[in-house]
C-alpha cells in the first residue's frame, strides 16, 4: 500500500510548492498511470515514493508518506530500494556498468546479496522479461527498447513490490513501447506488482491502467479514479477518447477493441456515404522567409532536397543502404521507422554532419558535404534530438541573438519570432530552467531565426505533453504554409497523422514505404494512429477527419 | 581491458615523468610510449575517438604556450633573433612582447608543451580503456554514501568527452565558428551543464538501487559521525594554520594528528556501514600481472632515482642551455609505459 496524507513539497529556493496537500492511497497490485502537463509535478510525486524526494533534492516535505509501512523520508532511497524499483526516462543515463548481466547484479551487490542468490535472481529477471539472449551484450549495443527492458530488469532483481517508471516509453518507437508496456502488464498481472507509471502519450498506456492520477498543474490537487472517470473530466486525452467524447460513445472506449463496435455502427450509419473529396490544405500566413515568397494567395518555396543511392555505415554496421528520395519545396515529410533504423543518420547526412559513403545528397543542387557547415545552416536548419545541446546562453533572447551574430543577421526579427512561437514572456528566462516543451521551442527558435528554407527535426515531440505538442503542431503547419521544406524524424504517429503530407518509412537501411500519409498509415499496423486503427479506412487518420464526415453526413441527411 | 588495479598502477607510472621532470629526453620517450598505447588501444573505440578532438585542442593550447614563452620571456644567453619590442605597464610591472628571442625560452616552452601533451595522452588512454564501473567499485567505501560525488568523479569526464562532438556539431549548425578560445564558451557551458545533468541522473539511479548501503540511517550515530568529521577537518585545518603562522609547533602538530585521527576513524566507521558483495570476481590475467610488474618497475626505478639524486631530473635551460643529463636506466624504464599496447597484442584473449 502506498499512502500519501496531505503531502506538500517545495524544492529548495522555490516559494511555490510543486506538490500541495496531496492525499492518495494506492492499493497493492494497482497499475496506476500518472498524467498531467509538463511541470505539474509527476516526476516529483514518483520520487516521493522511494524517498529521492526530499533526500536527493533537499527542500521541505510536509505531511505523511508510507510505503508498505515504511517511511521513505526516514529510510531514504537506499533504504527503500528493496521495496521500490525506480526506472527513469532515459535508460542510458542510468546504466552504471557496461555489461547487461553486471547491470542486473548492480543493485544486489549494493545490498550485499550472496553470489548464489545473485545468479538465481539474474536468471529469473532475464527470463521474466524474455531478454536472456542479451545477457552478455554491452549495454551500448542495445536498441532503445532493449535498454529500457534491461533498466526494468535491473531493479526487478531486488524483487520490489512496487515498480515506479518515469516516462519509460517516451524515447521508444511504437513497437518497442508496446513491448515494454506488455511486459509491465505481465508483471502487474502475473506477479501482482504495483506499477506507478507517468507518461505523456496516453494513447499508448491508458488501456493498461487500473487507475489514473491526473495532476492538472503545479501545486494543484490531483484527480484520482478509474480511467474512464478521470478521462471524462480532463482535457488531455488520447484521440480515441476524444472521438468517443465527441460522438458520445458510452461506455467510453479506451482500447481499439472497445471502440470497434462503435466504429462499425458509425460505418453502418454512413452506409457508403462519401463526403466531397477534401481539398488540399489552404496555405495560410503571410510574410517572407529566405528564398520564399508567401502571400495569402499562394506559396512558392525554393529549397529542394534530393538524395540518390545514399549509403552510410558506422564501421562494420551498414545503417543506410541505398536511400533515394526527393523533397519538394514546402513539403512536410515524416521520417519513420524503428529505433536504430537510421533516421538520425539520414538527417545528419542531409545537413552535412556526415558524409555519404555512397551516393549523394543535393540541397538546391549543392552537395552539403562540400560546403562549410555554418553556411549550410543558412539553408537547412537542424534541431537535434536533445535540444539542450543547442542551449547555453543566459536568456532565451540571448540564444536567438547568438544565432543572429553567427550569421551576421540583424536582431530585429527576434521579437516577432518569439511571439509566433509563444515565447515572448520567457524572453529573459534561463533556457535550461524551462520545461521540455519550452526548451524544444527555444531550440527551434534559435534555428528558425536564420530563416532556413528547409528544416530537419529529430524527434521533436520527445517528452512533450499534449499542450506543447499542439503548439509545435501549429508552428509546423505555419512554417509549411510559409513554404519551408520540413523533414521530421518521429515516432509520434498521432502528430505525423495530423501534419505530415508524406511518410518515408525506413527499415533495414532502406526506404520500405514512400507515400502519402494516409496511404502509408492505413497500410501499416504499427505506424497507424488510433482513429485509423479503430475505423480501418484510409479517409480517417485524425478525430477531425471523422468529425468532418459525420458533420457532412448529418448535413446531407437534414437536407 | 586490464584489471583496474593494474590499470591504475599504469596511470600512476605514466604520470611520474610528466610531473617530475622537464628533461626533454625522458619526456620524449614517455610521450612516445603513451602515444603508442593510445594508438593501439583507443583508435577504434568511440570514447577513444572522442578524446581525439580534445587531444587536438590540448596540443593547440600547448603549441600556443610555446609561442607565448618565446615572445614574452626574453631571458637566456643564446639569442636566436631580435624582434621589435612592445612594452606596456601592467600591475606596476613592465610586460614586453617581442625583443630578444632566445633558444632557452624556446626549449623551455617546448618541454612544458611536451609535459602537457603527455599528461593529456596518458589520461585519454587511461579513460578510454578503463572500466568505469570497476573504478567506482575501487573507491573507498566511506565515499559510497556520496553517490553523486562518486558518479561525477567517475563518469563526468567520459560523458563530457563523448558529448563534446555532438555539441560542437549542434553549435556549428547555428552558424557558430570555433576560431578562437572565446568561441569555445558555447561548447564548454553546454558540456558542463549536460555532464552535470547526466551525472545527477546517474547518481539518482545509483541511490535508488541501494548504492551506499541500505536500511534507515541511525538517528543517533549518523549525526555523531557527521560532527566527528566536521571537528576532525576543523582541527586539521587549524593545525596547519598554526604550524605555518604560530611559533608553537607542538600545538599545531598535535591538532593535525588528533584531527586526522578523528577524521580517519569517523570515515572508517562510515565505510563499515557499507557492505557490498561481488557478482563476479575480476581475475588477474597474465597481461594484468605483467602490466602491474611493468608499472611497478617504472615506479621503483624512478622512485629510487628521485630518492638518491633528485637533481638529476631537474632541467632548467636558463640562463644558458646545457645538454640535459640522460641515464639509460631511467629511459629504459619509461619504454615500459608502452606495455599496454604490447600486452594487448600478445594476449588478445586474456
User: Which residues lie below 8 Å from residue A512, measured CB to CB, with a gap of 6+?
Assistant: A505, A506
CA B297 to the chain's CA centroid: 21
| Confidence (pLDDT) at B30 | 97
What does residue A163 show for φ and ψ, rounded to 5 degrees?
-120, 120
Mutate: best of A11, A109, A443, partner B, most B CBs <10 A: A109
DSSP A100: H
Question: pLDDT per position in chain A (559 positions), as tens?
Answer: 899 999 999 999 888 899 999 999 999 999 999 998 888 889 999 999 999 989 888 899 999 999 998 999 988 898 899 999 999 888 888 888 889 999 999 999 988 899 999 999 999 999 988 889 999 998 888 877 788 889 999 999 999 999 999 988 887 888 888 888 998 999 999 989 999 999 888 888 888 999 999 998 888 889 999 998 998 888 878 899 999 999 999 888 988 999 999 999 988 888 777 665 554 443 333 333 333 333 332 233 567 889 999 999 987 888 999 999 999 888 999 999 988 888 989 999 999 888 999 999 998 888 887 888 878 888 899 998 888 888 888 899 999 999 998 888 889 989 988 988 888 888 999 998 887 778 888 999 999 898 888 999 998 888 788 888 888 898 899 888 888 999 999 989 999 999 999 999 999 889 999 999 999 998 888 889 999 999 888 889 999 999 988 888 888 888 7
Closest by Cβ to B210, choosing from A55, A107, A403: A107
Handedness of CA A321, A325, A331, A333 (dihedral sign): negative
Q: Would you say how long chain B is, in residues?
A: 350
Contacts of A82 in chain B (CB under 8 A): 210, 214
User: Are A117 and A108 in contact, with CB atoms under 8 Å apart?
Assistant: yes
What does residue A334 show for φ and ψ, rounded to 5 degrees?
-100, 135
A 338-397 → B contacts, CB under 8 A: 351, 353, 373-374, 376-378, 381-382, 384, 388-392
Tell me the pLDDT of chain A averaged across its residues.
87
What is the homologous superfamily of the domain A302-523 according to CATH? Answer: P-loop containing nucleotide triphosphate hydrolases (3.40.50.300)
Contacts of B170 in chain A (CB under 8 A): 382, 384, 389-390
Tell me the pLDDT of chain B averaged across its residues.
86
| Confidence (pLDDT) at B151 | 65
Q: Which residues pair with B95 in a beta bridge?
A: B88
Instruction: Give the separation between CA A56 and CA B245, rounded to whole angstroms.
Output: 40
| C-alpha R_g of chain A | 25
Residue of B nearest to A78 (CA): B210
Pairing state of beta strands A317-327 and A305-314? antiparallel
Whether A449 has its CB under 8 Å from any CB of chain B: the answer is no
| Confidence (pLDDT) at B218 | 62
User: Angle CA(B197)–CA(A387)–CA(A39) in degrees, nearest 5?
Assistant: 65
Question: What SS3 state is found at B224?
Answer: helix
Whether A36 has its CB under 8 Å from any CB of chain B: the answer is no
User: Which residues lie below 8 Å from residue B243, measured CB to CB, with a gap of 6+?
Assistant: B249, B252, B253, B256
- Could you give the count of Cα atoms lying within 13 Å of A377 in the half-sphere of its Cβ? 27
Q: How far is CA A333 from CA A293, A360, A497, A514, in A?
A: 21, 19, 11, 10
> From the DSSP assignment, how many helices (H) and strands (E) are in chain B?
12, 2
Q: Do the Cβ atoms of B174 and A378 come within 8 Å?
A: no
Q: Do the Cβ atoms of A392 and B186 come within 8 Å?
A: yes
Instruction: Give the separation between CA A287 and CA A294, rounded to whole angstroms.
Output: 6
Which stretches of chain B score pLDDT less than 70? 145-148, 150-155, 213-221
Helices (H), A449-526: 466-481, 493-499, 517-522
User: Minimal CA–CA distance to A243: which of A230, A225, A227, A256?
Assistant: A256
Q: Which residues pair with B271 in a beta bridge?
A: none
Instruction: Give the separation between CA B206 and CA B339, rounded to whole angstroms.
Output: 35
A284 preceded by a cis bond (ω within 30 of 0): no
Q: In what order do the strands lie in the sheet with A332-336?
A: A380-383, A454-458, A485-489, A332-336, A502-507, A510-516
Residue of A nearest to B160 (CA): A389
Instruction: Give the separation between CA A140 and CA A525, rounded to whole angstroms.
Output: 29
Closest by Cβ to A112, choosing from B166, B216, B277: B277
Q: Do the Cβ atoms of B202 and A389 come within 8 Å?
A: no
pLDDT digits (tens, 9 = 90+) for B267-323: 888 777 778 888 888 889 999 999 999 999 999 999 999 999 999 999 999 999 999
ipTM: 0.80
Residue intervals in chain A for CATH 3.40.50.300? 2-234, 302-523
Contacts of B214 in chain A (CB under 8 A): 78-79, 81-82, 110-111
Burial of B250 (0-12, 13-18, 19+ CB in 10 A): exposed
| Confidence (pLDDT) at A300 | 35
Contacts of B202 in chain A (CB under 8 A): 93-94, 96
In three-state form (DSSP H/G/I as H, E/B as E, the rest C), the secondary structure along A266-277 is HHHHHCCCCCCC
Burial of B276 (0-12, 13-18, 19+ CB in 10 A): middle
Mutate: best of B4, B147, B170, partner A, most A CBs <10 A: B170
In three-state form (DSSP H/G/I as H, E/B as E, the rest C), the secondary structure along A163-222 is EEEECCCCCCCHHHHHHHHHHHHHHHHHHCCEEEEECCCHHHHHHHCCEEEECCCCCCCC
CATH number of A2-234: 3.40.50.300
What does residue A333 show for φ and ψ, rounded to 5 degrees?
-110, 135
Mutate: best of B174, B187, B217, B273, partner A, most A CBs <10 A: B174
> A491-521: string of b/e by CB count within 10 Å (b at 16+)?
bbbbbbbbbbbbbbbbeebebebeeebbebb
Residue of A nearest to B192 (CA): A392
Contacts of A447 in chain B (CB under 8 A): 173-174
Q: How many CB pairs under 8 A join A and B?
A: 167
Pairing state of beta strands A287-289 and A292-294? antiparallel
| Confidence (pLDDT) at A275 | 63
Question: Residue A19: which H helix or E strand, with range?
Answer: strand A19-26
Instruction: Give the separation between CA A36 and CA A44, rounded to whole angstroms.
Output: 12
Closest by Cβ to A377, choosing from B174, B190, B215: B174
> From the DSSP assignment, how many helices (H) and strands (E) are in chain A?
22, 21
Whether A456 has its CB under 8 Å from any CB of chain B: the answer is no
Residue of A nearest to B207 (CA): A78
Closest by Cβ to A377, choosing from B175, B198, B212: B175
Closest by Cβ to B169, choosing from A56, A315, A353: A353
Amino acid at each position: 500500500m502506498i499512502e500519501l496524507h496531505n503531502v506538500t513539497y517545495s524544492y529548495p529556493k522555490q516559494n511555490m510548492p510543486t506538490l500541495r496537500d496531496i492525499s492518495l492511497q494506492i492499493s497493492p497490485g494497482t497499475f496506476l498511470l500518472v498524467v498531467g502537463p509538463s511541470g505539474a509535478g509527476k516526476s516529483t510525486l514518483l520520487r516521493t515514493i522511494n524517498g529521492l524526494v526530499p533526500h536527493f533534492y533537499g527542500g521541505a516535505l510536509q505531511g505523511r508518506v508510507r510505503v508498505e509501512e515504511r517511511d521513505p523520508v526516514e529510510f531514504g532511497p537506499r533504504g527503500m530500494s528493496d521495496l521500490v524499483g525506480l526506472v527513469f526516462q532515459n535508460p542510458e543515463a542510468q546504466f552504471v556498468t557496461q555489461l547487461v548481466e553486471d547491470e542486473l547484479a548492480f543493485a544486489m551487490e549494493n545490498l550485499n546479496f550472496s553470489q548464489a542468490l545473485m545468479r538465481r535472481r539474474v536468471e529469473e529477471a532475464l527470463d521474466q522479461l524474455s531478454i536472456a539472449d542479451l545477457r552478455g551484450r554491452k549495454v551500448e549495443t542495445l536498441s532503445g527498447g532493449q535498454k529500457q527492458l534491461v533498466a526494468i530488469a535491473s531493479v526487478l532483481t531486488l524483487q520490489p513490490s512496487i515498480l515506479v517508471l518515469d516516462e519509460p516509453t517516451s524515447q521508444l518507437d511504437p513497437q518497442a513501447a508496446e513491448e515494454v508496456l506488455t511486459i509491465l502488464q505481465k508483471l502487474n498481472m502475473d506477479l501482482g506488482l504495483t506499477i506507478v507509471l507517468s507518461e505523456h502519450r496516453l494513447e499508448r498506456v491508458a488501456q493498461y491502467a487500473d487507475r489514473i492520477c491526473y495532476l492538472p498543474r503545479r501545486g494543484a490537487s490531483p484527480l484520482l479514479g478509474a480511467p474512464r472517470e478521470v478521462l471524462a473530466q480532463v482535457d488531455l486525452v488520447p484521440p480515441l477518447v476524444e472521438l468517443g467524447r465527441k460522438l458520445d460513445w458510452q461506455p467510453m472506449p479506451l482500447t481499439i477493441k472497445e471502440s470497434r463496435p462503435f466504429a462499425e455502427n458509425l460505418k453502418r450509419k454512413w452506409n457508403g456515404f462519401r463526403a466531397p473529396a477534401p481539398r488540399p490544405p489552404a496555405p495560410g500566413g503571410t510574410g517572407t522567409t529566405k528564398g520564399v515568397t508567401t502571400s495569402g494567395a499562394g506559396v512558392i518555396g525554393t529549397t529542394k532536397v534530393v538524395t540518390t543511392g545514399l549509403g552510410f555505415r558506422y564501421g562494420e554496421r551498414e545503417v543506410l543502404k541505398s536511400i533515394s528520395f526527393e523533397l519538394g519545396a514546402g513539403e512536410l515529410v515524416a521520417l519513420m521507422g524503428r529505433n536504430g533504423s537510421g533516421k538520425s543518420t539520414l538527417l545528419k547526412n542531409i545537413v552535412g554532419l556526415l558524409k555519404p559513403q555512397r551516393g549523394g545528397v543535393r540541397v538546391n543542387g549543392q552537395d552539403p558535404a562540400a560546403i562549410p557547415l555554418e553556411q549550410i545552416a543558412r539553408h537547412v536548419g537542424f534541431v537535434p534530438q536533445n535540444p539542450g545541446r543547442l542551449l547555453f546562453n543566459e536568456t532565451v533572447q540571448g540564444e536567438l541573438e547568438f544565432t543572429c551574430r553567427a550569421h551576421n543577421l540583424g536582431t530585429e526579427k527576434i521579437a516577432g519570432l518569439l511571439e509566433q512561437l509563444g515565447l515572448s514572456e520567457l524572453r529573459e528566462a534561463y533556457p535550461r530552467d524551462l520545461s521540455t516543451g519550452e526548451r524544444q521551442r527555444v531550440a527551434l527558435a534559435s534555428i528558425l531565426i536564420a530563416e532556413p528554407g528547409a528544416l530537419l527535426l529529430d524527434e521533436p515531440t520527445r517528452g512533450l505533453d499534449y499542450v506543447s505538442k499542439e503548439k509545435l503542431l501549429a508552428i509546423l503547419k505555419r512554417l509549411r504554409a510559409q513554404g519551408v521544406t520540413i523533414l521530421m524524424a518521429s515516432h509520434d504517429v498521432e502528430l505525423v497523422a495530423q501534419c505530415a503530407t508524406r511518410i518515408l518509412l525506413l527499415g533495414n537501411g532502406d526506404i520500405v514505404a514512400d507515400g502519402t500519409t494516409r496511404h502509408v498509415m492505413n497500410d501499416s499496423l504499427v505506424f497507424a494512429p488510433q482513429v485509423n486503427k479503430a475505423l480501418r479506412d484510409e479517409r480517417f487518420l485524425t478525430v477531425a477527419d471523422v468529425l468532418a464526415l459525420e458533420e457532412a453526413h448529418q448535413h446531407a441527411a437534414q437536407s | 581491458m586490464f584489471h583496474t588495479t593494474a590499470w591504475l598502477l599504469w596511470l600512476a607510472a605514466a604520470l611520474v615523468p610528466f610531473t617530475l621532470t622537464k628533461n626533454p629526453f625522458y619526456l620524449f620517450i614517455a610521450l612516445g610510449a603513451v602515444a603508442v598505447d593510445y594508438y593501439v588501444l583507443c583508435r577504434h573505440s568511440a570514447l577513444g575517438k572522442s578524446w581525439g578532438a580534445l587531444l587536438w585542442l590540448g596540443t593547440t593550447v600547448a603549441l600556443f604556450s610555446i609561442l607565448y614563452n618565446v615572445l614574452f620571456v626574453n631571458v637566456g644567453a643564446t639569442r636566436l633573433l631580435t624582434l621589435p619590442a612592445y612594452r606596456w605597464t601592467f600591475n606596476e610591472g613592465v610586460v614586453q612582447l617581442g625583443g630578444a628571442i632566445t633558444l632557452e625560452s624556446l626549449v623551455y616552452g617546448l618541454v612544458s608543451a611536451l609535459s602537457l601533451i603527455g599528461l593529456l595522452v596518458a589520461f585519454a588512454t587511461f579513460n578510454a580503456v578503463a572500466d568505469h564501473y570497476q573504478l567506482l567499485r575501487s573507491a573507498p567505501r566511506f565515499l559510497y554514501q556520496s553517490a553523486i560525488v562518486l558518479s561525477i568523479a567517475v563518469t563526468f569526464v567520459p560523458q563530457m568527452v563523448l558529448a563534446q562532438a555532438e555539441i560542437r556539431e549542434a553549435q556549428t549548425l547555428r552558424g557558430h565558428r570555433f576560431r578562437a578560445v572565446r568561441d569555445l564558451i558555447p561548447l564548454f557551458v553546454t558540456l558542463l551543464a549536460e555532464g552535470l545533468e547526466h551525472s545527477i541522473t546517474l547518481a539518482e539511479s545509483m541511490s535508488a538501487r541501494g548504492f551506499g548501503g541500505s536500511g534507515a540511517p541511525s538517528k543517533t550515530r549518523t549525526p555523531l559521525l557527521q560532527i566527528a568529521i566536521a571537528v576532525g577537518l576543523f582541527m586539521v585545518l587549524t593545525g596547519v594554520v598554526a604550524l605555518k603562522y604560530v611559533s608553537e609547533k607542538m600545538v599545531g602538530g598535535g591538532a593535525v594528528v588528533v584531527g586526522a585521527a578523528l577524521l580517519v576513524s569517523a570515515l572508517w566507521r562510515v565505510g563499515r556501514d557499507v557492505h557490498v558483495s561481488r557478482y563476479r570476481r575480476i581475475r588477474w590475467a597474465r597481461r594484468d600481472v605483467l602490466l602491474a610488474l611493468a608499472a611497478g618497475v617504472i615506479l621503483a626505478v624512478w622512485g629510487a632515482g628521485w630518492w638518491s639524486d633528485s637533481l638529476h631530473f631537474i632541467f632548467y635551460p636558463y640562463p644558458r642551455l646545457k645538454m640535459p643529463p640522460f641515464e639509460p636506466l631511467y629511459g629504459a624504464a619509461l619504454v615500459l609505459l608502452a606495455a599496454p599496447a604490447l600486452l594487448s597484442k600478445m594476449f588478445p584473449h586474456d
